[in-house]
């Protein structure tokens, strides 16, 4: 568990569902808190059309300003971005994004709503984009979205997910994420599906992205850990949800994830108090109670302080 990597996606997946547009300066203040918290990767945004997702209109600007801020503070996590197409990839390369995230939905309905393409068309496009990013020397993570079920179509066959994964592997991609876009995952299936992927090659790195639509995100995280997953995407205050699924549940909550890990003795280098303060600040900004538990009730003491 010492190799667990926390990928904070609140500024992208978290904010894309919010109608109240967050200013660049406010985002920069939140990013500074994340830099100081010690998370490993921060997803600053996505390179999408600003009229379709106004919340992401300043992604280029953030990538121009945040690296200097990170260097000045002495905190230097990896900065990632989501791209959906070649135009987005071009924009990301122009501002020197370090890590690109891109994905394909395993659901035909989700794929067409999200990208306007079929699963097969989207898969071939993403493989070409991934190879471009790798050729430019960038870190890369490619995901299968709606991997555990679709809000429109219901269950997604494991064979379809594995078919997409095999195409990724054939395309030279070694970092693969499964995204539970609709929140339909259950722990047994999480462990089995990640186990099947990790059995496909010794050099693979797996990531997971869980939504808490049915309250199972943290349980599914535990199952992914058992299977050998290393990268965990989460969103401060549980912000988020996909606008292209039928029922958008929030993301796995970052401070709840870190609290759980620290109870096991892992990732005590991350500043949980700072994440809790940030979650409260996000709630005050939006004027509502946020998802998650730890920022409401406070953390337990460290597990090693409990009498044996």
Positions annotated as catalytic residues are: 242
- Find where tokens 């996590």 sit: 77
DSSP 108-151: HHHHHHHHSS-HHHHHHHHHHHHHHHHHTT-EEEEEEETTT-BT
Cα separation, 250 vs 212, in Å, equals: 6
Cα separation, 12 vs 9, in Å, equals: 6
Q: Where are the beta strands (DSSP E) in 167-283?
A: 175-180, 205-210, 231-234
Q: Using an 8 Å Cβ cutoff, are 175 and 142 in contact?
A: yes
241's torsion region: left (phi>0), alpha (psi -120 to 50) or beta? left
Cα separation, 179 vs 193, in Å, equals: 12
> Which residues face 197 on adjacent strands?
none
> Which residues face 180 on adjacent strands?
210
Cα separation, 119 vs 111, in Å, equals: 6
Angle between helices 59-73 and 24-37 (to 10 degrees): 40
């Amino acid at each position: 568990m010492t190799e667990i990597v926390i990928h904070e996606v609140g500024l992208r997946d978290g904010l894309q569902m919010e109608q109240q547009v967050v200013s660049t300066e406010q985002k920069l203040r939140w990013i500074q808190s994340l830099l100081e918290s010690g998370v490993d990767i921060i997803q600053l945004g996505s390179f999408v059309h600003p009229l379709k997702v106004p919340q992401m209109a300043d992604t280029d600007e953030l990538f121009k300003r945040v690296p200097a801020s990170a260097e000045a503070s002495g905190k230097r996590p990896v900065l990632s971005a989501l791209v959906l197409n070649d135009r987005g990839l071009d924009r990301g390369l122009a501002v020197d994004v370090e890590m690109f995230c891109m994905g394909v939905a395993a659901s035909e309905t989700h794929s067409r709503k999200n990208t306007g393409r079929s699963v097969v068309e989207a898969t071939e496009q993403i493989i070409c984009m991934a190879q471009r990013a790798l050729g430019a020397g960038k870190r890369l993570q490619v995901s299968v979205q709606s991997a555990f079920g679709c809000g429109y179509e219901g269950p997604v066959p494991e064979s379809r997910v594995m078919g997409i994964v095999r195409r990724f592997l054939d395309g030279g991609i070694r970092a693969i994420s499964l995204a539970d876009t609709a929140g339909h995952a259950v722990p047994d299936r999480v462990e089995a599906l990640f186990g099947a992927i990790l059995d496909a090659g010794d050099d693979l790195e797996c990531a997971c992205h869980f939504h808490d639509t049915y309250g199972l995100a943290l349980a599914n995280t535990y199952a992914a850990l058992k299977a050998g997953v290393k990268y965990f995407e989460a969103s401060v205050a549980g912000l988020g949800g996909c606008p292209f699924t039928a029922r958008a549940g929030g993301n796995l909550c970052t401070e709840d994830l870190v609290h759980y890990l620290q109870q096991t003795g892992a990732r005590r280098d991350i500043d949980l108090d700072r994440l809790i303060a940030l979650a409260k600040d996000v709630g005050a900004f939006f004027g509502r109670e946020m998802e998650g538990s730890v920022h409401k009730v406070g953390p337990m003491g460290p597990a090693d302080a409990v009498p044996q």
